[in-house]
Amino acid sequence: MRKRLYVRKIKIINKLPTEKFNAVVWNADIDAMPGPKRWGITAVRVAQVLLRDLADGAITLRAMGLVYTSLLSLVPLLALSFSMLKAFGMDNMLQPMLERMLAPLGERGEPLISAITEFVANVNVGILGVVGLVVLLYSVISMIQKIESGCNAIWEVRQPRSVGRRFTEYLSVLIVGPLVVVAATSMTASLSSTAVVSYLGTMEPFGTTLYVAGLLTPYVLYSAAFTFLYTFMPNTHVRLLPALGGGVFAGVLWQTASKLFTMFAANAGNVNAIYSGFAIVILLLIWLYVSWLIMFTGCRVAFLLQHRDQLTRGHYPPPLGNRRREELALLICLLIGRRFLHGEEPWAIEHLARTIRAVPAHVNEVVEQLVQGRILIKTGHDGITLMPRQDIGRLKINAIIAAVRAGTPHSQPATGNEPEQRQVAKLMQQAETARSDAFGQLSLRELVSASQEQTAHDD
């Protein structure tokens, strides 16, 4: 008896820290908290959700996939950047760019940087011809497309950019990107070498201030670069503050990881002993993987900061029940039908989800069923706005419900002649008939009109 009581006390004691942690972090209303405490609780929630996402493996798999793509696209990307720099008379800046990018490899990376620089310098884009230039651009654009695909998956965006937007926007980044990097590098180097800065460095407190500013400059530059990436790459509207939060997280983490990786590469004796001349390639693969993992993790942070409702203790999104699915379908069609009736701008899926305060993944799932059921149609430049597929006066509510209840052909249960199966089928048919009779011949137009009359009455 005493042993049972002792074991029970141990279990209760072990539960106390977890229960207290959940009470403070997950069960508290952070909107009612003061600013610093609210930010702290949000940071703890984000950290726990990130650990859970990394354990699930989706982010790590995308990072590993981009390592292979990076190896294939590295030389074409650098060749294109070299051509842009050469056109502006800055072709001698390619090696400093590579040194900054591969700085975590330390002294071991110097032969690799020299080899890549020599190889890229020998690639003459002007004599490649049309086919060679198309292959070069395709290699580079395919890598950017995979980055967009990963960011869209994190942001739960199912519609990628159109082909025209990919070509124009990707190409603009490829042209402007190297020039911005070179400009930032040159500006930093020139400011640190001016006579005024050198003179101020000998005076206090300017000397300490300039030293600290020099240490913080890489963090600021990388944070700004990641912030731009998170704002531009997902095919959806990303607010500045969440993108800045993810950018600062990724920038600080990347700079810190680069310093730690430099120490690791300098003392990686086991890697040299095992792989010999291939050690630098192995280190390059590891660093590419770490870099992409940091990029996607920061993108996830930006998403969680913009969608704080997804900071939940359990897996997200929660399962969507049949009743909630039907309610969502009717609500979505009601709002779309109202705008269509008044000739207003069609709804975008993201705006629709925010308006009805629904989980974006659930809204996308229901919308896909309504599109497949020929209730709605996607319109717009990138196919992300919604309109009724037919006259809302002829569109029956029963048809909307049937579209979300039908599922896909592969999800239909197998029919049989067993007594139990016949009994269940008969019961379900009775329920279906009762539901159909309840809605009768009610159309979407009648539902919209009734909603407007109710709104006017409430006002």
What is the pLDDT averaged over residues 27-33? 66
pLDDT greater than 70 at residue 424: yes
Contact between 248 and 223 under an 8 Å Cβ cutoff? The reply is yes
How would you label 187-202 residue by residue, b for 16+ Cβ within 10 Å and e otherwise? eeeeeeeeeeeeeebe
Which of helix, strand or coil describes residue 378? strand
Please, which residues bridge with residue 387 across strands?
A: 377
CA angle 14, 19, 20 (to 5 degrees): 105
Give the span between the Cα atoms of 151 and 167, in whole angstroms.
18
Contact between 337 and 392 under an 8 Å Cβ cutoff? The reply is yes
Contact between 164 and 97 under an 8 Å Cβ cutoff? The reply is no
Give the span between the Cα atoms of 302 and 314, in whole angstroms.
19
Structure confidence at residue 299 (pLDDT):
93
Q: What is the residue extent of each domain of the chain?
A: 57-310, 322-458
pLDDT band at 249 (very low <50, low <70, confident <90, very high): very high
Would strands 347-348 and 385-388 be described as parallel, antiparallel, or unpaired?
A: antiparallel
Of 249 and 313, the structure prediction assigns the larger pLDDT to 249
Which of helix, strand or coil describes residue 48? helix
Take residue 256 and report the two structure tokens written for it: 């810190």
Rounded to the nearest integer, the mean pLDDT of the chain is: 76
Q: Per-residue DSSP letters for 184-246?
A: HHHHHHHHHHSHHHHHHHTSTTHHHHHHHHHHHHHHHHHHHHHHHHHHHSSSS---HHHHHHH
Would strands 385-388 and 376-379 be described as parallel, antiparallel, or unpaired?
A: antiparallel
Structure confidence at residue 298 (pLDDT):
93
Of 156 and 458, the structure prediction assigns the larger pLDDT to 156
pLDDT band at 16 (very low <50, low <70, confident <90, very high): very low
Span 194-218, pLDDT tens digits: 554 555 555 566 556 655 666 777 7
Measure Cα distances from 229 to 234, 255, 280 in Å. 9, 16, 28
pLDDT greater than 80 at residue 364: yes
**154: CB partners within 8 A, 6+ apart:** 59, 234, 296, 299, 300, 303
Span 150-179, pLDDT tens digits: 898 888 887 778 777 777 777 777 766 666
Measure Cα distances from 118 to 103, 114, 261, 439 in Å. 18, 6, 25, 74
Percent of the chain having pLDDT more than 90?
A: 7
What is the pLDDT averaged over residues 261-280? 69
Best CATH choice for the domain 322-458 from the list 1.10.10.10, 3.40.980.10, 1.10.287.610, 3.40.50.740: 1.10.10.10
Give the span between the Cα atoms of 183 and 84, in whole angstroms.
13
Please, which residues bridge with residue 348 across strands?
A: 385
pLDDT greater than 50 at residue 10: no
Please, which residues bridge with residue 378 across strands?
A: 386
Structure confidence at residue 6 (pLDDT):
46
pLDDT greater than 90 at residue 37: no
102: nearest Cα among 281, 274, 276: 281
174: nearest Cα among 73, 259, 106, 275: 73
pLDDT band at 280 (very low <50, low <70, confident <90, very high): confident
pLDDT greater than 90 at residue 300: yes
